[in-house]
Structure 1
Amino acid sequence: MNNPMLAAVETLLNETFEGPGENGSWYTESKPGSGIFGTLEKLSSDEASISVNGTTIAAQTEHTRYYLWVANSYLNGEEPEKDWGASWKITDVDHMTWERFKKELQQEYTTLLKKVDSLDSLDEQTSNGLLGAIAHSAYHLGSIRQMVKGL
């Protein structure tokens, strides 16, 4: 990738979801498993279903997946029907549902990375969408990690 901004987007998405790389962290905790996937992997479906300040980690996870789906849709030139509130209605999940949520989040993340890899340049709309995906996902990473402390 020859575009420094696209390379930075990819680096920060990787850190948000997969955790910091070998060269340290730009903003997350500098130890392995500090990204969204490492944090979620340590949690059971029962833990993901515990209400902390009115929401659950399962809802945070599903909302993050939904946001990435919307971002991916826009990046593909689509205008999806949106129901932001639906993702927040998640209360408790069983083991299979929790595993599905994590897998679907991984799929949306992978789709976004592939889109970033396919780009040569950025217009303002795409830049805002990609930077928004980083900021929004990082916000929910922080929320989830704080919720974990409350379990």
Structure 2
Amino acid sequence: MGRKLAESLKTLLNETFEGPGNGGSYYTDSKPNTGIFGTLEGLNAEDASLSIHGSTIAAHADHTRYYLWVVRTMISGVEFEKDWDASWTISQVDETKWAEIKEGLQSEYHSLLAKIDTIDLEEWLTNVNAIIAHSAYHLGALRQMIKELESEK
């Protein structure tokens, strides 16, 4: 059961971040590039820095990266101070910072996927499920923000 559960969690994380596979979608748009990474692909730093409904795409992306880091760090047993407010402070980014945010998000995602294979899922199941829900929420927010950007152009 543990292996099947881990594969199920990884499938849902994969859909959230990388988009649905060839077998269809469980909860996202079934078109290619509809996960977080595909949604952010092609956005430049200027667009990622625009305030839309009081936040920026860059802030949402970095906050999602931070959440992944928090849970992965907790699972690793490392003590640290959470600073949720700091995870929302990004507003203006240049192309270098925007690339760093996207690379950091991918790195945290891949680190978490690897961690799932090594943890006691009974102990950490709620946290991993929370990552899926939290990240799916931000995927929806990002997609709506991009629709707003497109309507203004």
> Could you state the TM-score of these two structures normalised by the residue count of structure 2?
0.93
Q: How far did 1:87 drift?
A: 1.6
Q: Which runs of 4+ in 1 moved over 2 A?
A: none
Counterpart amino acid of residue 65 in structure 1: R
Gaps of 5+ in 2: none
Letter in 2 for 1:133: I
* Per-residue Cα deviation, 1:76-118 (whole angstroms, up to 9, x for no partner): 1123211100121111100000000000000000100000122
The percentage of counterpart residues that share the same residue type is: 54
| Other-structure match for 2:32 | 32
Question: Which residue of the partner structure matches residue 132 of structure 2?
Answer: 134
Structure 1 length as normaliser, TM-score?
0.95
Q: Secondary structure at the match of 2:85?
A: helix
Partner residue in 1 for 2:64 = 64
Check the 8 A contact 2:2/2:121 in 1, yes or no. no
Matches within 5 A, 1:74-93: 74-93=74-93
Deviation at 1:2, TM superposition (A): 6.0
Query: Counterparts of 1:138 and 1:79 in 2: how far apart (Å)?
Result: 27
Shift, 1:135, TM fit: 0.6
Q: After alignment, is 33-42 or 1-10 more displaced?
A: 1-10
Q: What amino acid maps onto 2:62 in structure 1?
A: E
| RMSD of aligned Cα (Å) | 1.3
Map of 2:55 onto structure 1: 55
Equivalent in the alignment of 1:144: 142
Paired residues, number: 149
Paired position in structure 2 for 1:122? 121
Give the gaps of 5 or more residues in structure 1.
none
